[in-house]
Amino acid sequence: MPVHEHPTGATDLDELRRRAVAAAPRREAGLVVCENLVRIYRSEGVEVQALQGLDLTVAEGEMIAVVGASGSGKSTLLGILSGQDVPTAGGAEVAGHDLLTMKRRARLDYRRRTVGFVWQQTSRNLLPYLSAAENVMLPMTYAGIRRSRRRARAEELLDLLSVGHCRDRTPDTLSGGEQQRVAIAVANANEPRVLFADEPTGELDTATSDEVFAALRRANEELGVTVVVVTHDALVSEQVQRTVRIRDGRTSTEVLRRVATGEDGVEVRTAQEYAVLDGSGRLQLPGEFTERLHLRKRVRLVLESDHVGVWPDEAARRARAQAQEASDAQEALDAQDVAAGGGSGR
């Protein structure tokens, strides 16, 4: 009786695939997930690494601020997440859409239905020859929504954001704050999952900025849209529960804000800053820490029972001691000068 042998090669390959899937690190859960995200620009032989392995997770319904110095990579990140740019490597997903492998047609549909965007320049958000209501209705036309529904939806959004009185006016007759609130209505026209805003208050005064930010918060709370705001404005970044700071193309720190009720019944707002530990175990120490302790190139790590100690190497210790000696010597000289000046005046 013939013996039937199984194709062991195929079985072994299936087993290897199963093991690889089991061993692969699990992707973070979130509506927006970036893992080791890289964006490299090349121009005339010059290579610029705008993002250098950035990690970020944003939960559905969250409202966060992204801050960082000019050139840190925050606008590049926003361009990728909004579908206007394509990452070089790494992973970026928004509402289940893989932004690295997305084809052109799918990217267009993604920008029309999944995300909304508000620019800093008010002139980029609205068409000048359309009324506020017509601007809000325009994205719904591309999505195939019936005209009667478009009009009703536009008026609902304008009323929600306190610019219902502007529905029949063109952008040139609106104030800067009114234009930005209409732009937020436009960005929410097709019920996106995420709203991205790039410096939405950058051209506005403080009082008007508060009105625009209140509109963003209202969209987040009442429409359920997740909001990611890139800003330089400290007053804006302090009004969200989480602020993510980008430095040198990576997320470096996060500030988490909470409202707690004390024993006396009074609500107290607290803020705690954390360093971000990425998927490879890397973190960025704050610049003021490394400068003060003269941390350079390498450090010594010590695992304690409930924390990790970071210690400077011997070269850094010597540099710190020398700096302290120089500071003490300068203080002594300054004291002598003060004493001499006081003595000559008697």
Q: Are residues 214 and 305 in the same domain?
A: no
Tally of domains within the chain = 2
Q: Are residues 207 and 101 in the same domain?
A: yes
Chain centroid, CA 222 distance in Å? 22
State the residue for tokens 């190497």: 313
Containing structural domain, residue 148: 32-252
Q: Are residues 238 and 289 in the same domain?
A: no
As a dihedral over the C-alpha atoms of residue 72, residue 75, residue 80, residue 84, rounded to 10 degrees, the angle is -150
Q: Which secondary structure element, helix H or strand E, spans residue 46, and what is its range?
A: strand 46-58
Asked if 31 and 95 touch (Cβ cutoff 8 Å), the reply is yes
State the residue for tokens 């061993």: 23
Q: What is the pLDDT of residue 346?
A: 46
What CATH number does the domain containing 47 carry? 3.40.50.300
Answer whether residue 181 is part of any domain.
yes
Helices vs. strands in the chain: H and E counts, helices first: 11, 13
Q: Are residues 102 and 231 in the same domain?
A: yes
Q: Are residues 242 and 311 in the same domain?
A: no
Q: Are residues 235 and 314 in the same domain?
A: no
State the residue for tokens 């997770």: 57
State the residue for tokens 């404005």: 233
Q: What is the pLDDT of residue 202?
A: 85
- Give per-10-residue mean pLDDT for the chain (346 aa): 51 61 60 94 87 94 93 92 93 95 93 93 90 96 89 95 96 94 96 94 88 94 96 81 92 88 79 83 81 79 86 70 73 75 55
Q: What is the pLDDT of residue 66?
A: 95
Q: Are residues 198 and 111 in the same domain?
A: yes
Domain termination site, one of 232, 252, 272 = 252
Q: Are residues 318 and 217 in the same domain?
A: no
Q: What is the pLDDT of residue 20?
A: 53
Chain centroid, CA 198 distance in Å? 10
- Kindly report the three-state secondary structure assignment for every residue of 113-173: HCEEEECCCHHHHCCCCCCHHHHHHHHHHHCCCCHHHHHHHHHHHHHHCCCHHHCCCCHHH
Q: Are residues 168 and 233 in the same domain?
A: yes
Answer whether residue 192 is part of any domain.
yes
